[in-house]
Chain A
Amino acid sequence: MTALSPAVANAENLTVRYGPKTVLSDLSLAIPEGCVGLLGPNGAGKSTLIKTLMGFLRPASGRATVLEKDTVSEALAIRQEIGLMPEQDCHIPGMNAVTFVAYAGELSGLPSAQALRRAHEVLEYCSLGEARYRNVETYSTGMKQRIKLAQALVHGPKLLFLDEPTNGLDPQGRDGMLALIKDVSRAKGLSVVVSSHLLPDIERTCDHVIVMRGGRAVRQGPIASLRDTGADTWEVELRTFSAAFVESVTRRGGVPGFRQGALLHFDLSKAELPPGLLLFQAARESGAQIRGFRPAQRSLQEVFMEAVEG
Chain B
Amino acid sequence: MSLEAPIADRDPSGNATIADTSYRHYEGPRNLHSVRFRVVALSTIRQNVNRTRLGFWIPAGFILLTYFIFGAIFYVTQSVRQFGVTIPGDTGNPYALTLYQGLVSIDLFLFAAALTVGAGSIAADNRANALLVYLSRPLTRRDYLLGKWLGIFLLLAGLSLVPNLVMYLFFLTAYWKDGFSDQAVGMFGRMLAASLIGPLLHTSLILGFSAWSRSPRLAGAAYAGFYFILSLASGILGEVLLERDTAGRMPQTIAIVSNLSVSGLNRGVAQSLYDVTPQQAVQNFRQGRRRIRRRRVIQEAPPNMPGRPPLAPMAGLTLAIIVLPVGAAAARIRAVEVVRG
Contacts and interface: CB of A to CB of B under 8 A. Distances in A.
B127 to A, nearest CB: 7
Contact of B21 (A51, A87, A121): A121
A67 interface: no
Contact of A56 (B40, B43, B134, B335): B335
Contacts of A90: 128-130, 132-133
Given A42-B341, A46-B341, A93 B21 contact: no
Interface string A53-86: 0101100000000000000000011011001101
A83 B25 CA distance: 13
A111 interface: yes
Interface residues of A, number: 55
Contact of B18 (A43, A50, A114, A121): A121
Contact of A125 (B23, B26, B128, B134): B23
A228 interface: no
Contacts of B17: 116-117, 120
B249 interface: no
Q: Is chain B's interface secondary structure helix, strand, loop, or mixed overall?
A: loop
Contacts of A57: 336
A12 interface: no
A107 B139 contact: yes
A156 B339 contact: no
Contacts of B39: 103, 106-107
Interface residues of B, number: 47
A163 interface: yes
Interface stretch (B27-35, B219-227, B270-278): B27-35
Contacts of A108: 30, 137-138
A121 B19 contact: yes
B341 A47 contact: yes
Contacts of B135: 56
B130 A93 contact: yes
Contact of B23 (A47, A86, A95, A153): A153
A122 interface: yes
A310 to B, nearest CB: 21
Contact of B133 (A48, A109, A151, A184): A151
Contacts of A113: 15
What 9 pairs between A and B have smallest CB-CB spacing? A156-B26, A47-B341, A109-B30, A90-B129, A84-B136, A124-B21, A125-B23, A90-B132, A56-B335
A116 B39 CA distance: 13
Contacts, number: 146
Contacts of B136: 54, 79, 83-84, 86, 152
B140 A76 contact: yes
A48 B124 CA distance: 25
Contacts of A120: 17-18
B296 to A, nearest CB: 55
B238 interface: no
Nearest to A101: B133
Contacts of A137: 128
Contact of B26 (A56, A79, A110): A110
13 contacts: A84-B136, A87-B341, A88-B132, A91-B129, A92-B125, A93-B120, A93-B124, A103-B43, A107-B39, A107-B40, A107-B139, A109-B32, A117-B14
A89 B341 contact: no
Find the residue from B23, B24, B32, B340 having the highest chain A CB count within 10 A. B23
Contacts of A95: 47
B82 interface: no
A94 interface: yes
Contacts of A110: 26, 28, 30-31
Given A92-B133, A117-B18, 12 more contacts: A50-B339, A54-B339, A86-B132, A86-B338, A91-B130, A104-B133, A107-B137, A117-B16, A125-B22, A156-B26, A163-B339, A188-B23
A182 interface: no
